């Protein structure tokens, strides 16, 4: 049998994440049995456990991982650092969950064991959303939040990408929130006379007007539907296979109806942020998705596909 080369450090660390809870639950186990359980040689197991025994918390005196080997047996206790409740941020929690689930794919991992149970509890606490974004707070967000607290009306220059247009308007900020990796301003837009949502990174400039408006109750928009009805987002009507609707579940839609002429197709109306965004969506949906409205985008899928082919030096015969 060919000799196995050195294992990468990240692989050894992932395996320790599985081995230590398993070992601490048993407290003592023969080296040979533990090595066989985790598909390691005895030498590899001993090297990993020796590394673990040097881990702990400063000042590295009485807060070390309690594991040692004596006469062919592995002994482990539960150190105090493992009994303390963790206080994790959302990004730290999702990072730990992802690392733990990756480790659970290794030989010897037990979904019903201590690590598996801990991951199940962590997943429940974090919720069903598998994505977390740790955002830098834009400097202007604090100024907008202060205006929302005081009712200060602001004059704002705002860029709308779908029209490549900068407009000036007076707004009364009501709330600052995040969604989908971006910061947004919920405000009373005095130009349209409506409550509107503005992406903060598209705000070109703001200045105080000296006018203060009365406070009112506001509800931060539902992330699934908040920009439905916003005229800054153009609508597109697609015909697409019904069995592919799962691909657009995360996008807010105005309507989804059955195509009366084709039983296996659906008609979808959804808001788009611009041509580039729609091009990427159409590439993912493939040739079976067709833009019905607006007509100027009816050939957008073909144009986007040809651009991808050209990028990779492939010529297309389609016109």
In this structure, are 113 and 14 located in the same domain? yes
DSSP for 231-286 reads TTSEEEEEEEEGGGGGGGTTS-EEEEEE-SS-TTEEEEEEEES-HHHHHHHHHHH-
For residue 301, what is the domain's CATH number? 3.30.70
Q: 33 lies in a domain?
A: yes
Order of strands, edge to edge, in the sheet holding 73-76? Answer: 28-30, 73-76, 67-70
Q: 296 lies in a domain?
A: yes
Q: 226 lies in a domain?
A: no
In this structure, are 21 and 106 located in the same domain? yes
Find, among 280, 233, 286, 225, the residue nearest to 250 by Cα. 225
Q: 10 Å Cβ neighbour count for 84? A: 9
Find, among 94, 97, 64, 67, the residue nearest to 81 by Cα. 64
For residue 211, what are the CA distances in angstroms to 153, 155, 189?
A: 5, 10, 14
Rg (CA), the chain: 28
Q: 224 lies in a domain?
A: no
Last residue of a domain, one of 100, 126, 152: 126
CA trace torsion 57, 59, 60, 65 (10° rounding): -30
In this structure, are 184 and 290 located in the same domain? no
In this structure, are 182 and 282 located in the same domain? no
> What pLDDT sits at residue 183?
84
For residue 22, what are the CA distances in angstroms to 14, 47, 91?
A: 13, 17, 26
Distance CA(184)–CA(179), nearest Å, equals 7
Profile the chain (319 residues) by mean pLDDT over runs of 10 residues. 53 73 83 86 84 63 68 75 60 70 66 75 65 64 89 92 81 84 86 88 92 86 57 82 83 85 91 79 87 90 81 57
Q: 157 lies in a domain?
A: yes
In this structure, are 269 and 194 located in the same domain? no
CB 318 within 8 A of CB 304: no
Phi, psi (degrees; rounded to nearest 5) at 18: -85, -40
Q: 221 lies in a domain?
A: no
In this structure, are 13 and 114 located in the same domain? yes
> What pLDDT sits at residue 1?
39
Find, among 272, 270, 265, the residue nearest to 288 by Cα. 265
In this structure, are 22 and 122 located in the same domain? yes
For residue 152, what is the domain's CATH number? 2.30.30
In this structure, are 197 and 115 located in the same domain? no
Domains: count for the chain: 3
Last residue of a domain, one of 75, 91, 126: 126
In this structure, are 238 and 191 located in the same domain? no
Whether the predicted model's global pTM rises above the 0.75 cut:
no
Q: 3 lies in a domain?
A: no
3-state secondary structure labels for all residues of 126-159: HCCCCCCCCCCCCHHHHHHHHHHHHCEEEEEEEE
In this structure, are 13 and 120 located in the same domain? yes
pLDDT tens-digit profile of 290-300? Answer: 999 999 998 88
- Give the pair of three-digit tokens for residue 177: 């929130």
Q: What is the DSSP letter of 109?
A: -
> What pLDDT sits at residue 133?
47
163 lies in which domain range?
Answer: 139-212
In this structure, are 201 and 282 located in the same domain? no
Q: 287 lies in a domain?
A: yes
Phi, psi (degrees; rounded to nearest 5) at 9: -60, -40
| Sequence-ordered list of residues with C-beta below 8 angstroms from that of 205, at least 6 positions apart, any chain | 156, 157
In this structure, are 109 and 151 located in the same domain? no
Phi, psi (degrees; rounded to nearest 5) at 58: -55, 145
Last residue of a domain, one of 94, 126, 158: 126
State the residue for tokens 């450090």: 9
> What pLDDT sits at residue 290?
92
- Give the pair of three-digit tokens for residue 136: 């830098």
Phi, psi (degrees; rounded to nearest 5) at 267: -105, 125
CA atoms within 13 A on the CB side of 28: 6
């Amino acid at each position: 049998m060919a000799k196995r080369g050195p294992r990468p450090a990240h692989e050894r660390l992932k395996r320790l994440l599985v081995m230590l809870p398993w070992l601490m639950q048993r407290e003592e186990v023969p080296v040979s049995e533990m090595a066989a359980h985790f598909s390691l040689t005895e030498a590899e197991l001993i090297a990993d456990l020796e590394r673990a025994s040097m881990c702990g918390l400063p000042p590295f005196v009485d807060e070390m991982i309690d594991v040692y080997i004596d006469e062919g047996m592995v002994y482990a206790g539960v150190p105090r650092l493992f009994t303390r409740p963790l206080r994790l941020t959302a990004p730290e929690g999702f990072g730990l969950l992802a690392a733990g689930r990756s480790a659970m794919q290794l030989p010897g991992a037990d979904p019903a064991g201590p690590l598996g149970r801990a991951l199940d509890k962590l997943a429940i606490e974090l919720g069903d959303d598998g994505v977390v974004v740790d955002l830098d707070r834009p400097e202007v967000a604090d100024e907008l939040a202060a205006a929302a607290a005081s009712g200060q009306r602001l004059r704002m220059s705002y860029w709308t990408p779908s029209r490549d247009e900068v407009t000036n308007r007076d707004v009364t900020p009501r709330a600052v929130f995040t969604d989908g990796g971006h910061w947004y301003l919920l405000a009373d837009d005095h130009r349209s006379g409506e409550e509107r949502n503005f992406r903060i990174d598209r705000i070109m400039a703001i200045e105080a007007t000296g006018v203060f408006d009365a406070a009112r109750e506001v509800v931060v928009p539902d992330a699934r539907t908040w920009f439905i009805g916003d005229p800054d987002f153009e609508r597109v009507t697609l015909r697409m296979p019904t069995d592919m609707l799962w691909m657009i579940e995360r996008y807010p839609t105005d309507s989804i109806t059955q195509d009366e002429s084709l039983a296996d197709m659906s008609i979808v109306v959804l808001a788009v942020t611009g041509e580039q965004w729609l091009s990427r969506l159409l590439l993912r949906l493939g040739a079976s998705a067709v833009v019905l409205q607006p007509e100027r985008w009816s050939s957008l899928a073909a144009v986007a596909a040809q651009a991808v082919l050209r990028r990779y030096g492939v010529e297309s015969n389609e016109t």
